[in-house]
Structure 1
Amino acid sequence: MYFSTRQKAPNIILLTAAFVLVSLILWNTNSFFKKFKEEERLKMEIWATAQLELIQSPVDQELGNLTLKVLGNNTSTPMILVNEEGSIKSLNIPQEKQTDTTYLQEKIQEFKNENQPIEIIQGGELLETLYYGNSEVLNKLKYYPLALLLIIFLFGAVIFFFFRTNKASEQNKLWAGMAKETAHQIGTPLTSLLGWNELLKTEAINPDITIEIEKDIDRLQTITERFSKIGSTPELKPQDIVAETQKAYDYLKKRSSKLIDFSFKTDLDHLLVPLNVPLYNWSIENLVKNGIDAMKGKGSIALQIELKGNYVSILISDTGHGIPKSEHTNIFNPGVTTKKRGWGLGLSLVKRIIEEYHKGKIRVLTSNKGGTVMQILLKII
């Protein structure tokens, strides 16, 4: 993760402070847990002493109020008493389980793992053994550090994604700024070219030359307009999706290799969709060019337009080498490319134009060694 020099120090201080604070909370919680466990042990030792007094007292002798209070006051800690004859007595265990020997034996083993059993001894003779488990409060407290760690993890994830999003936002602003600056820089020589072309028209030269120059100037103006719209919210107007798609497709067809077979298919004559024409045409051109690159300049490119409920579906298919299934989502991320020489910006721009600007969808519909089909979905008016 990258931080600018100005951001780095405050971020490190913040993360360090958060780590120290969380460490103190964990340490304090652990100390409190240990102390609470010691208090519970002391309480059970007092209970065992009261139980010894109960065993020692004659049948006809009344027990003191303190002894009775100690024995009857513990209603939260589960206990199992086992005397020297192996007889089992349980306290604070579910009523239906108190006669289940197998369950009680399992509980004894569980209690032994949780706490050291307390032996009730008189005159060197073992009378009973007290097995006890953690109280409900202690059990809840035991999982508190885990819950805290989970909170820390989520807190760290939020911080990570915040800075990651911040970084992506900065990169987007950078690319948008570069795009606008490029459009601005192209504008000056473009104006000059327009002037020179008008001058050429006054000379005795073949008019076809100036016509072709005008076409290239128009193309440069289109590119300039596209770059100028990156980073700003483009205006969408109702446009005929069939005509605009055909126009972008035909432009590339005329300027591509004769080794590529182009086909255009649709049953629709006219369909209005909210579009920003320069940016939409840019998307179509990017997808077609990617298909041409995937075929290494030889193969078939097909474009099909059809209705899908409230959406119009534009399918661009090629006969290239295909895209691995694991990359179907990643290829739309900036910097990801399957080409040896590529910046990985084309498809990320297409995704931004279609999904952010036009509120549509784009995806890899199918892809294998025989080719790839890309799908654009746009809502119709």
Structure 2
Amino acid sequence: MDFNPKKKTSNLILLAASFVIVSLILWNTNSFFRKFKEEERLKMEIWATAQSELLQSSEEADLGNLHVKIFQNNTSTPMILVNKDGSIKVNNMPETELLDTAYLNHKIKKFQGENKPISIDYRGEHLATLYYGNSEVLNKLKYYPIALLLIIFLFGAVIFFFFKTNKASEQNKLWAGMAKETAHQIGTPLSSLLGWNELLKSENISPAITNEIEKDISRLETITDRFSKIGSSPKLDEYDLVEETKSAFEYLKHRSSKLIQFSFESKVDHLPVLLNRSLYNWTIENLVKNGIDAMRGKGSISLEIVPEGNFVNVLITDTGHGIPKSDFQSIFNPGVTSKKRGWGLGLSLVKRIVEEYHKGKIKVLSSGKAGTIMQISLKIKS
């Protein structure tokens, strides 16, 4: 069950609008690029015409100001002029490379790829060939769409993570409020149950009955304490991890189906760890219950405590139907559950208890048809 309803229509409209806007920007940029390129081509053709007139003019002829102005105005477009006699003249290129034939041939091939060469003719006679490349402005404009897309992508990513974080914060406040309200609501009937149990003791009811009632009342008090701690920073004290883990594991063992085989193993007898006892026991119980549900009430579940350097790993293994590898991360997200009934908050709260409150790690160590292994890693108190 998904905790939050998906607004598919709004998302599709937003996606379509974004696609249209980006497409229009790219189309407009491409149109501007092509128009600028055409204008640069026209400028080169005018320059070639002026060069043709220059090549046919005698040294003594008065060329006038027009040709000079045409040559002087071209200060941005790199060009190579190859005369019919094989001589080469360059313009707007580094002078240090003019004598390097290999460099000039490389540039001619590059210019041919960027723009079609212009043949300079006069009265049917071929005088020279003009090779020209893109100007610096045109080259920068060519990469503008890429830069624009990158900016749009980064902006979209920032907006996405902002809303995601904001949404997660709102959900955390909601769950914390629900948990505290649940603890408050349980408190009233719990006080009443305590009173009724004392009354039953005075009526000479069998101690076995009142003792069991006291156990259930104690259990309700533990649950109330757990819920009241959600949303606040719980106090951590030094406890024996082995003892606390075994206690929570044994509690469920005595209250589960006889068709389930329980197995507990620890590599050490004692291990001091900073814990919030109530929340840690809740974590173990939650993971064990999930394993039992995955096995549908029949199978085997084991818990193993394995120290590893400065950390200790708590491994909960079941023989259930397994979890798809693609869901290893998502199962800890709020609202994600494979059960027909449920809010999908259990593993989300477990992750918060382990990682936020105890500064540890929890993950799906492995999963398949043979079952699933969940791993909790906590730091050992030095």
TM tier, smaller: 0.7 to 0.9
Report how far residue 107 of structure 1 moved. 2.9
If asked which structure has higher relative contact order (CA below 8 Å, sep 6+), I would say 2
Indicate the larger mover: 207-216 or 290-299: 290-299
Once the two structures are superposed, residues 92-134 of structure 1 have per-residue CA deviations (whole angstroms, 9 ceiling, x without a partner) of 486687448985674354133xxx5444332354533423221
Shift of residue 201 of structure 1? Answer: 0.9
Q: Is the 8 A contact 1:97 1:103 kept in 2?
A: no
Task: Give the distance between the partners of 1:287 and 1:156, measured in 2 at CA.
Answer: 37
Q: Secondary structure at the match of 1:247?
A: helix
- Per the alignment, in what secondary structure is the counterpart of residue 270 of structure 1? coil
**Secondary structure of 1:279's aligned partner:** helix
Which residue does 1:219 correspond to in 2? Answer: 219
More moved, 34-43 vs 85-94:
85-94
Provide the secondary structure at the position in 1 that maps to 2:234: coil
Report the more deviating stretch, 336-345 or 166-175.
336-345
Secondary structure, aligned partner of 1:317: strand
Cα distance in 2 between the residues matched to 1:27 and 1:338 = 46
Q: Are the counterparts in 2 of residues 364 and 374 from structure 1 also a CA contact under 8 Å?
A: yes
Is residue 111 of structure 1 aligned with residue 133 of structure 2? no
The aligned amino acid for 2:351 is K
Q: Secondary structure at the match of 2:375?
A: strand
SS in 2 for 1:312: strand
Single out whichever of 210-219 and 314-323 deviates more from structure 2.
Answer: 314-323
Give matches, 1:40-51, under 5 Å.
40-41=40-41, 43-51=43-51
Deviates more, 1:240-249 or 1:73-82: 73-82
Match of 2:273 in 1: 273
What is aligned with 1:284?
Answer: 284
Contact between 2:98 and 2:104, CA under 8 Å: does it hold in 1?
Answer: no
Paired position in structure 2 for 1:171: 171
- Deviation of residue 78 (structure 1)? 3.4
Shift of 1:230: 1.2
Q: What is aligned with 1:306?
A: 306
Alpha-carbon distance between aligned partners in 2 of 1:335 and 1:358, rounded to the nearest angstrom: 23
1:184-203 mapped onto 2 (5 Å cutoff): 184-203=184-203
CA contact (8 A) 1:332 1:347 kept: yes
- Write the deviation string for residues 138-180 of structure 1: whole angstroms up to 9, x where unpaired: 2122212320221012112211221122122212211111111
Structure 2 unaligned segments of length 5 or more: list them: none
Question: Once the two structures are superposed, what CA deviation does each residue of 1:222-241 show, in whole Å capped at 9, x if it has no partner?
Answer: 11111111111211112111
Counterpart of 2:128 in 1: which secondary structure? strand
Range 37-46 or range 182-191, more displaced: 37-46
Q: Distance in 2 between matches of 1:201 and 1:329?
A: 50
Aligned counterparts of 1:263 and 1:290: Cα–Cα separation in 2: 16
In the alignment, the residues of structure 2 paired with residue 34 and residue 150 of structure 1 have an alpha-carbon distance, to the nearest angstrom, of 22
Q: 1:348 to 1:97 in 2, by over 3 A?
A: farther
Deviates more, 1:132-141 or 1:22-31: 22-31
Task: Report matched runs for 1:8-87 at 5 Å.
Answer: 33=33, 37=37, 40-41=40-41, 43-58=43-58, 76-81=76-81
Q: Which amino acid aligns with 2:51?
A: Q
- Per the alignment, residue 142 of structure 1 pairs with 142
Aligned residues: 369
In structure 2, how many angstroms separate the alpha carbons of the residues matched to 1:97 and 1:144?
Answer: 32
Corresponding residue number in structure 2 for 1:329: 329
Separation (CA, whole Å) in 2 of partners of 1:85 and 1:78: 21
Taking structure 2 as the reference length, what is the TM-score of the superposition?
0.83
- Give secondary structure in 2 for the equivalent of 1:168: helix
Using the TM superposition, name which of 61-70 and 352-361 deviates more: 61-70
Relative to the length of structure 1, the TM-score reads 0.83
- Amino acid in the other structure paired with 1:111: E
Alpha carbon RMSD of aligned pairs, Å?
Answer: 3.6
CA distance in 2, matches of 1:271, 1:97: 76
Aligned partners of 1:2, 1:345: CA distance in 2, in Å?
15
Residue 208 (structure 1) aligned with residue 208 (structure 2): yes
Structure 1's 79 and 205: CA in aligned 2 closer, same or farther, altered over 3 A?
same
- Alpha-carbon offset, residue 36 of structure 1: 5.0
State the shift of 1:80 in Å: 4.1
Distance 1:221 1:96, change over 3 A: farther
Aligned-pair identity (%):
71
Task: Name the aligned partner's letter for residue 225 of structure 2.
Answer: E
SS in 2 for 1:188: helix
For residues 3 and 331 of structure 1, the distance between their equivalents in structure 2, rounded to whole angstroms, comes to 18
Q: What do the CA deviations read for 1:230-279 (whole angstroms, capped 9, x no partner)?
A: 11121111211111111111111111111111111113222211111111
